[in-house]
Structure 1
Amino acid sequence: MFTAFNQAFRTPDLRKKLLFTLGVIVVYRAGTHIPVPGVDYRAVQQCVEQASGSQGLFGAVNLFSGGALLQITVFALGILPYITASIILQLLTVVIPRLEALKKEGQAGTVKITQYTRYLTIALAILQGTGLVATARSGALFGNCTVASQIVPDRAIFTTVVMVVTMTAGTAVVMWLGELITDRGVGNGMSILLFISVAATAPSALWAIKEQGTLAGGWIDFGVVILIALATVGLVVFVEQAQRRIPVQYAKRMIGRRAYGGTTTYIPVKVNQAGVIPVIFASSLLYIPSLAAQFSGGESEWKTWVTRKLTQGDHPVYIALYFLLTVFFAFFYVGISFNAEEVADNMKRYGGFVPGIRAGKATADYLSYVLNRITWPGALYLGAIALIPTTVLAGFGASQNFPLGGTSILIIVGVGLETVKQIEGQLQQRSYEGLLR
């Protein structure tokens, strides 16, 4: 591993890309500590200290923003509006014929869809920024904090507009930084910024578990949490790398005097074809009734039921709904992202076929059959990995949104593996030696 790092930094072109990526990450982390104008920074810090270890409904969003949401900083919204916009555009591509036609146009269509994603990101940032300011002004952002209502002392419309515009501009800057990493750095920029956001709060959360632990001064609690996290990482790496390879044979074709085709390849179908998106869908759907109950006035039976059973990560009702929704969205997302009929048509167009399977509809049915069978273990794995570490870690004082929980580990491991693969690919391109040295 150290040899690979040495080779990476000894290669001038790759060294520039790595240093550029690190520089953008520094800028991004600096922006997560710059408070928004109109916010009482001392009141925010006091409420953050009181809410440490129990961040409530906003814990997941705060985790994805690298701790910037509860600090109400310039990058408070983080990369989440862009992720939401990307998911929405991807889902609408299946529904809206215009977007589907753009997707089939190749690079030109992709550029237009990316532009639509940027516009939708800004719109979502304005909406989420307005909601965050309204929540902070009402005092509901930190729940039982004694100075929560003093976080935004100035209630003027101009101050509110300035705060929303500042956070929206921060989201645009984060989106730009991510695209810079993709163009000039290493890896997918948006994924790397999400990786940094999730990993940034891990050291402080781990140390908080040690401070709150009761066994041997907290060191036994700390060690057990580390072992659980490492075991989860090993399981995630094993499953994320697992795939079913469907063999594909291409027939030979004579064009003029040259023969084309005649090669054998395969279609890699991953066990976890959907990635972490089903978990994000499930948590977002469960977040809606909890948020509605928090902003509803008065007391009622449904509000009490939601508060008691859907805001606690270790409640059986929450666990069951989270697991079932994750499994459902895993099948749903795989169904819209992998079109078996389109893959079969492309294979038939270029003279490819699965050995023993007729080209056309029979191939599409076979691909759907394989995909459904392999999605079951992937969906069950997603549901288990999103819940088991969280519920176990909760017994050691970790909050529901602990940075080494299932969702966070899925993001960290997935982005880490893809980035390492890209670095290895560039090293192999630059380290290739010919027959004659």
Structure 2
Amino acid sequence: MLSAFVRAFRTPDLRRKLLFTIGVMVVFRIGSFLPTPGVSYKNVQECIAQTSGTNDLLGLVNLFSGGALLQLSVFALGIMPYITASIIIQLLRVVIPRFEALHQEGQSGTAKLTQYTRYLTIALAILQSTTVITVARSGQLFTGCSVSVIPDNSVTTILIMVLTMTAGTGLIMWLGELISERGIGNGMSLLIFTSIAAKFPTALWSIAGGDNGVSKFIAVLAMSVLVVGLVVFVEQSMRRVPVQYAKRMVGRKMYGGSSTYIPIKINMAGVIPVIFASSLLAVPGLVAQFSQSTTGWVLWVRNNLVSQSAPLHISLYVVLIIFFAYFYTAITFNPDEVADNMKKYGGFIPGIRAGRPTAEYLDFVISRITAPGSLYLAIVALLPTILFIALGITTNIPFGGTSIIIVVGVGLETVKQIESQLQQRHYEGFLR
């Protein structure tokens, strides 16, 4: 990986793209520390020092904002509204035939869906910024904080804060598209990578500074290396379904007669099932957090659903991850569509008839492949939590295993794109 970056910096065109990407990442990180107008920066820092933790749902948003949420900065919402909007648009393809028709139209239809995603992102940013400001004003953003982070509660101040956070989300969306267009890699994925990686040094340092810090730090590093190796192994693993294309005449030329394969990854859903499961499990805790009562159902929710060490929480977490892995894979990979495209261009799987039998075979393969993929996601998501409980680490590192999945996945994809561009520029062929 390092040699690929070194060779890329020696190529002028790639060097400009890499420097542009790094520059956008720097701007993104600077915006994560700029306080929103109306927020008392001094009180925010005091609350961060006093706080005893946040709700898991707010911790999820804080993770993807690189810690900007708790800072109540201009980029407080991070990339989360865009992620949510993209997922909603993908899910609506199943419900709304118009969206599915746009998806099948090719580049023009995809551009239209992208435009809908942008509009929905701004709408979600307005909703989420209003929610975050309301939670901050009520004192629920920082549990145990004795000072107010928003001293002025006037309507004008609140509107300016909502407008600023929404504009920050729009700017993040634009920066991500700039990276995809002029830089290296997928812009949105790299901004998520930057947000998560920015929190690692602080979290590791807090572990090393506690009781028995050195031994705990070594244990966490060993666990991280183990998880990274598992993530790399599984993310690179795939089932190659062979496909043979028959020869056909187009005009005076003969086409086809080639052999290829359909790459089916073990984890086709990526990290989306873990995000869905965590968000769904965090909702009861968020409702209980707003309740002032300390008896009855509130205590039961806090003890069984909010506590990450509770058996019910762990069991529901695993079940939801497996369910959403199958659900999201079924949405993103359509066996009927793949079978129709193969039949249209004269392709077939050896030993399987074209058409409906091919779709049934692909559906069978997907079902078998998704089973170990969903279990892998559950293990990686729970392994850091189990280790922290065993070691007695109380540092809040949200999505420990999932963070590694995102960081390693984005890193692998970016290096692949750099190597492919290097091959295009330094390809020598058979003759030197």
The corresponding residue for 2:149 is 151
Deviations 1:351-377 (A, max 9, x none): 000000000111011000111011100
Query: Matches of 2:390 and 2:59 in 1, distance apart?
Result: 18
Aligned residue for 1:333, secondary structure, equals: helix
Q: Which ranges of structure 2 fall in alignment gaps of 5 or more residues?
A: none
Query: Matches of 2:393 and 2:201 in 1, distance apart?
Result: 13
Amino acid at match of 1:27: V
Q: Which ranges of structure 1 fall in alignment gaps of 5 or more residues?
A: none
Query: Matches of 1:70 and 1:50 in 2, distance apart?
Result: 12
The corresponding residue for 2:322 is 327
Match of 1:285 among 274, 280, 294: 280
- Give how far 1:106 is off: 0.5
The corresponding residue for 1:203 is 201
- Give how far 1:404 is off: 7.3
How many residue pairs are counted as aligned between the two chains? Answer: 431
CA RMSD of superposed structures (Å)? 1.4
The corresponding residue for 1:341 is 336
Amino acid at match of 2:202: S
- Give how far 1:434 is off: 3.5
Amino acid at match of 1:74: V
Aligned residue for 2:391, secondary structure, equals: coil
Does the CA contact (< 8 Å) of 1:390 and 1:400 recur in 2? no
C-alpha distance 376-400 of structure 1, shift in aligned 2 (>3 A):
farther
The corresponding residue for 2:176 is 178
Query: Matches of 1:321 and 1:35 in 2, distance apart?
Result: 37
Deviations 1:120-158 (A, max 9, x none): 0000000000000001100011111222xx111111111
Amino acid at match of 2:51: A
- Give how far 1:220 is off: 1.3
User: For 1:78-97, what aligned pairs fall within 5 Å after superposition?
Assistant: 78-97=78-97
Q: Given the alignment of the two structures, is residue 119 of structure 1 paired with residue 119 of structure 2, yes or no?
A: yes
Query: Matches of 2:168 and 2:392 in 1, distance apart?
Result: 33
Query: Matches of 1:285 and 1:360 in 2, distance apart?
Result: 38
Does the CA contact (< 8 Å) of 2:55 and 2:286 recur in 1? no
Match of 1:364 among 359, 364, 367: 359
Query: Matches of 1:327 and 1:401 in 2, distance apart?
Result: 25
Does the CA contact (< 8 Å) of 1:249 and 1:353 recur in 2? yes
- Give how far 1:297 is off: 4.1
The corresponding residue for 2:230 is 235
User: For 1:24-423, what aligned pairs fall within 5 Å after superposition?
Assistant: 24-51=24-51, 54-57=53-56, 58-147=58-147, 150-214=148-212, 218-399=213-394, 401-402=396-397, 405-423=400-418
- Give how far 1:94 is off: 1.4
Query: Matches of 2:286 and 2:168 in 1, distance apart?
Result: 24
- Give how far 1:206 is off: 0.2
Deviations 1:298-337 (A, max 9, x none): 3441111111222221211111111100000000011111
Aligned residue for 1:322, secondary structure, equals: helix
Q: Given the alignment of the two structures, is residue 20 of structure 1 paired with residue 15 of structure 2, yes or no?
A: no
**TM-score, normalization: structure 1?**
0.96
Query: Matches of 1:112 and 1:399 in 2, distance apart?
Result: 46
Query: Matches of 2:211 and 2:199 in 1, distance apart?
Result: 19
Does the CA contact (< 8 Å) of 1:229 and 1:405 recur in 2? no
Aligned residue for 1:201, secondary structure, equals: helix
C-alpha distance 119-26 of structure 1, shift in aligned 2 (>3 A):
same
**TM-score, normalization: structure 2?**
0.97
Query: Matches of 1:39 and 1:273 in 2, distance apart?
Result: 41
C-alpha distance 400-85 of structure 1, shift in aligned 2 (>3 A):
farther
Does the CA contact (< 8 Å) of 1:323 and 1:383 recur in 2? yes
- Give how far 1:96 is off: 0.3
Does the CA contact (< 8 Å) of 1:209 and 1:397 recur in 2? no
Query: Matches of 1:404 and 1:326 in 2, distance apart?
Result: 13
- Give how far 1:296 is off: 2.8
C-alpha distance 321-133 of structure 1, shift in aligned 2 (>3 A):
same
Deviations 1:334-354 (A, max 9, x none): 111111011001101100000
Query: Matches of 2:39 and 2:304 in 1, distance apart?
Result: 33
Query: Matches of 2:62 and 2:277 in 1, distance apart?
Result: 17
Query: Matches of 1:206 and 1:230 in 2, distance apart?
Result: 14
Query: Matches of 1:401 and 1:414 in 2, distance apart?
Result: 23
Deviations 1:53-108 (A, max 9, x none): x3343222211110000010000000000000000000001110010111011000
Query: Matches of 1:3 and 1:131 in 2, distance apart?
Result: 46
Aligned residue for 2:306, secondary structure, equals: coil
Does the CA contact (< 8 Å) of 2:206 and 2:395 recur in 1? no
Aligned residue for 1:146, secondary structure, equals: coil
Aligned residue for 2:243, secondary structure, equals: strand
- Give how far 1:225 is off: 0.6
